[in-house]
Structure 1
Amino acid sequence: MTTVRDLMTPDVRCIPATETLDRAAQLMRDHRIGALPVQNGDGELIGIVTDRDIIVKCVAAGHDPAKVTAGDLAAGAPVSVDVSADTSDAVRVMGEARIRRLLVLDNGRPAGVITEADLARNLPAEQLADFVSRVYATG
């Protein structure tokens, strides 16, 4: 059985809810990533902020990313799986939630992320095609 630990990109970067979106964008640029899990002051995951969120929900909406915080955009705990989950479970969760990044937790703490690129490099063509059809389906 292949687990998500075998597929994930380790060393996930998180951002405090109080950090501004301009700083979030800088971290994404510097680490060449497209999403940051958001943690409150207690370290609890309260959401995830993506590069697209910053553009669509902040910049395009006329807000100043130097004044809007990651916590302002975070909406509920991010979708996640445990490091011991089977790869097929991760793909199913991503497909059902129609997401392209899946947070991987180890004892409730961020351990890594599974991205579309991770799936493309590791999944058989049929399983990848099923994932793509679910995530990018219209309607």
Structure 2
Amino acid sequence: MLCSEIMTPVPAVCSYQDTVLQAARVMRDLNVGYVPIVDEKDQLVGIITDRDICIQVVAENKKPEEEKLKDYVTPKPYTCKPGDDISKAIQLMKAHQVRRIPIVDDTDQCLGIISLGDLAVGTHMEKEIFRALERISIPAEPE
């Protein structure tokens, strides 16, 4: 099965210049926990998650309406191409302890995202998905 067959198309993106509040509102409005971040050429340059906002902004008592995304984005996320087999996305999730893999074209424009939920619903690879979830759930070492 190909990544393009199970990815969730990206309905909205943000830029580095947008505020954390803008990204949070996009997440709320679309009922998602992430927003891809693109540059002026619409090329994927990062991703921000609801967890990033909670830990780095809210828990630090910063003002989301004043904070720019450029300071909180995870840069250069691991990606797959639409024609890649989903096993590549699963391997990236396991290896790097991430729950989402952006799908980009040859010019790095974000076409969609594959999440663990997409894999659970869209495939019959229960054992492989369980292993990925198990690996992702291992606490990361603090930096």
Taking structure 1 as the reference length, the TM-score comes to: 0.92
Describe how 1:34-45 pairs up with structure 2 within 5 A: 34-45=33-44
Residue 76 of structure 1 and its aligned partner are, at CA, apart by: 2.0
- Corresponding residue number in structure 2 for 1:19: 18
- Corresponding residue number in structure 1 for 2:139: 138
1:43-91, CA deviations, whole angstroms, 9 ceiling, x for partnerless residues?
A: 3322111011111101101211001111111242111111111111110
Residue 12 of structure 1 and its aligned partner are, at CA, apart by: 4.4
Contact 1:12 1:113 in 2 (8 A): no
Count matched residues.
138
**CA distance, structure 1, for counterparts of residue 79 and residue 124 of structure 2:** 19
The DSSP-based 3-state class of the residue aligned with 1:36 is: strand
Gaps of 5+ in 1: none
Contact 1:10 1:113 in 2 (8 A): yes
The one-letter code matched in structure 2 to 1:65 is: P
Residue 7 of structure 1 and its aligned partner are, at CA, apart by: 1.3
The one-letter code matched in structure 2 to 1:27 is: V
Q: Percent identical across equivalent pairs?
A: 27
- What's the C-alpha RMSD, in Å, of the aligned pairs? 1.4
**CA distance, structure 2, for counterparts of residue 43 and residue 12 of structure 1:** 13
Identify the range of structure 1 (48-57 vs 115-124) with the bigger mean alpha-carbon deviation: 115-124
CA 45–25 in structure 1, closer or farther in 2 if over 3 Å, else same: same
The one-letter code matched in structure 2 to 1:104 is: I
**CA distance, structure 2, for counterparts of residue 93 and residue 13 of structure 1:** 23
- Corresponding residue number in structure 2 for 1:124: 125
**1:47 aligned to 2:46?**
yes
Contact 2:15 2:39 in 1 (8 A): yes
- Corresponding residue number in structure 2 for 1:113: 113
**CA distance, structure 1, for counterparts of residue 64 and residue 20 of structure 2:** 5
Gaps of 5+ in 2: none
**1:66 aligned to 2:65?**
yes
CA 58–138 in structure 1, closer or farther in 2 if over 3 Å, else same: closer
The DSSP-based 3-state class of the residue aligned with 1:81 is: coil
